[in-house]
Structures are given as structure tokens and as C-alpha cells.
Structure 1
Amino acid sequence: MAKRIAWWVYVLCAAIGLVAGVGMAWMSERHGSNMIAAPWIVSVLMVVLGLVVLYLAIQVHKYTTTDPKKRAALRTFIDPDKAVNTLVLAKALVVAGALLVGWYAGQACMLWKHWEIGYYRDLMIECGVAAVAALFDMIIGMISEWLCQLPPNEGPEHPHVKANQSRHRPYVATKDGR
């Protein structure tokens, strides 16, 4: 059974991305090379990717929460491989989104001191848009990960079943008759 990604993993990934983004911008500035931010198409593709993963997660959620007798009416069959792959995509989207938020935010922070120069201002705006797109992907990944959870079954581990078993436990006498 897959577990949700812990909150500290998001923070750690964003911090690693931030350090890497700041380091890359600093190295680029120090060596006099041109910095290349994220082209607009990258931000658009990140948003489209997030929407595709969300669509797949909604399909998995709809299938798993529908009564088994009514699933035929959905006319969709979600095989276990597709469901697991959707969950893996959602988890990857969260981690990649967190890393990229830090990466682009770090670059944008380093460009702030050159705001008055048009080239750097454009790069900073591109990095800001890419950071927002990565944050969108991170949030969509969290939602998709939640949507891919299986509903609890009525097996022996279900909380309602455990509560009923403990209340209706038959009386068993011990050796001393109590």
C-alpha cells in the first residue's frame, strides 16, 4: 500500500531547488555567461501536464468510489496498472513541482538586483511564471495523490468492523472462572 508523501519532503525538495537555482544564477553571473530562464512553452507544458495527471486521477477516483454494480455504466475500465501509474505520476509531479518552485524562485531572487536592465527583468518574469506553474503542478500533484487513494474496504482492518467486533466479543471464561 502506497503512503502519502510527507510534508517535509516538499519543503526539502523546494530547499534543494532553491539552493540549486541560486547557485546556478550565481555561477552564471560570476562567469559572465548568459542566463537562460524558462521559455514560455515550458510553463505552458507544465500546466498541461498537471491537468492531464489531474484528469487521470479523477478517472481513478471515480472508478474506485463507484459501487461495483454500477461500474459497468461508467463504460470505463481502470486496470490496476493504470491506477498505479497515475499515482506514480501524481507523486512525481509533487516532487518535481517542489524542486522546480525552488529552482525558479532561486533564480528570480538572484535576478532581482538587476531589475532595471530589461534583459534581466524579462528573465525574472519568465522565472516567476515558471515558479507559479511549478507550484500549480505541486498542488495538482497533491490533489491527484489524494484522489488516487482507495476507499477503505469493509475487511477486518476497517474501523467500523473493529469497533463492532470489540462490542460483540463473546464472553470467554478464564481458568479461575471469572
Structure 2
Amino acid sequence: MRISRTPWWYYVIAVVLGALIGTFLVWRTRTTAIAPVGAPWFVSGVLFVLGIVVLVLAWQVHQYVIGKVKEIDVDKASTTLVLCKALAIAGAALAGYYGGELAMCIVWRDVAFYQGLIAECSVACAVTVIDMIIGIVGEGWCQLPPQEGPEHPNAKKRKKRRRDAAVAAVSRPADSAKR
């Protein structure tokens, strides 16, 4: 199974879509009697703890990749990689969402209600950006070195050495027969 790195533009799309949704929802609440939600402190705390847990799991997989740990559970390693990818994309989308809410609420910073909302969205935006970075770094830490197979960078060198050795072995008996 071959898993590639998440392209950088996935994060850009997630941030833009999140910002559009967050901006639209705050704009929509201004024309209705519904107040914008923001992000409770508990949510920011849970997101931060989740990021730390994923970072620790990715560090354990990285220890295996660099050879400091001799064996690791394959399910744990693959689950950690999926968690890193999901955390990075979700962090990007939520950073855009809270950033969009923040951008719309900044205009009303003189109103007491919006001051609390601005503080909540600022912290949530910072935490989700940290989560996105943790996910990207963790995904890099979970990347295994290429196996000794046909796609390995040294495979062509080995194949050329074997071919040269075979050519040399074939040409030697002919040279000794002439003498």
C-alpha cells in the first residue's frame, strides 16, 4: 500500500472553505435574532489536548522510523498516520472557520458580547493552527523510508552493478582462452 503526503493545496482549500462558512454564518446571524456561537473554552482545550496526543503518537512512530525502536504495531502506525492527516485537514478547516468568524466580529469589537466572542475565536483559531501544524509535522514523522524494492533509489545502481559484473564475467573466459 502506497500512501502519499497530503498536497499543500488541500490545506488552502480547507482554510478558504472554513473562512467562507464562518464569515457567512456570522453575517447571517446579524440579520436574524440568532447570536453567533464562537468557540467555548472547553472546545479549544479539547482540540489542544487532541493535538498533543497525536503529536506523541507520531513521535513514537518516528522513533521506529529512525531506528531507535525495533518494532511497532502496524495498526498503531497506520492509525497514527490517518490521525495526523485528519488533524491537519480539520485544523485547517477550523482555523479558517474561526478566522472567518473573527474577521466578521472584529468590526463590532466595541460591543461587550462581541469582545468575549473575539477572545474565544482568537484562542480557537490559534489552537487549530497549532493542530494543523502538528498534523503536518506528524505526517512527515510517520513517513517510512523506501523499502528495498524496485522503487528504491538505489535499485538502479544495484541493477547496473549486477549487469556490469555479469558482462565482466562473460568477457573474462573469452580473454583467458586466447592466451
TM-score (norm 1): 0.86
Deviation at 1:168, TM superposition (A): 4.9
The corresponding residue for 2:124 is 130
Which of residues 72, 75, 94 is equivalent to 1:78?
Answer: 72
Q: Equivalents in 1 of 2:4, 2:108: separation in Å?
A: 44
User: What is the match of residue 38 of structure 2?
Assistant: 37
Equivalent residue runs for 1:56-135 within 5 Å: 56-66=57-67, 71=70, 77-135=71-129
More helix, by proportion: 2
Which runs of no fewer than 5 residues in structure 1 stay unpaired? Answer: 72-76, 173-178
What TM-score results when the alignment is normalised by the length of structure 2?
Answer: 0.86
State the structure with more CA Rg: 2
Q: Which residue of 1 aligns with 2:171?
A: none
Number of the residue aligned with 2:4 = 3
Query: Which residue pairs with 1:139 in the alignment?
Result: 133
Larger displacement relative to structure 2 (58-67 or 33-42): 58-67
Q: Report deviation, 1:150.
A: 0.7
For residues 141-176 of structure 1, give each alpha carbon's deviation from its aligned partner in whole angstroms, at most 9, with x where no partner exists.
00010011111223332212322423552349xxxx
List gaps (5 residues or longer) in structure 2: 169-179
1:27 matched residue in structure 2: 28
SS in 2 for 1:98: helix
CA deviation string 1:104-140 (max 9, x = no partner): 0000011011111111011011101100100000000
CA distance in 1, matches of 2:87, 2:8: 14
Q: Distance in 2 between matches of 1:145 and 1:85?
A: 11
Which letter does structure 2 place at the counterpart of 1:81?
A: D
Matched-pair identity in %: 43
Deviation at 1:37, TM superposition (A): 0.8
Shift >6 Å, 4+ stretches: none
Read off the aligned partner of 2:95 and give its amino acid letter.
Answer: V
Residue identity opposite 1:103 in structure 2: Y
Greater displacement, 39-48 / 11-20: 39-48
Name the stretch that deviates more: 12-21 or 110-119: 110-119
CA–CA separation in structure 1 for the residues paired with 2:107 and 2:61? 46
Output the CA distance in 1 between the equivalents of 2:101 and 2:33. Answer: 15
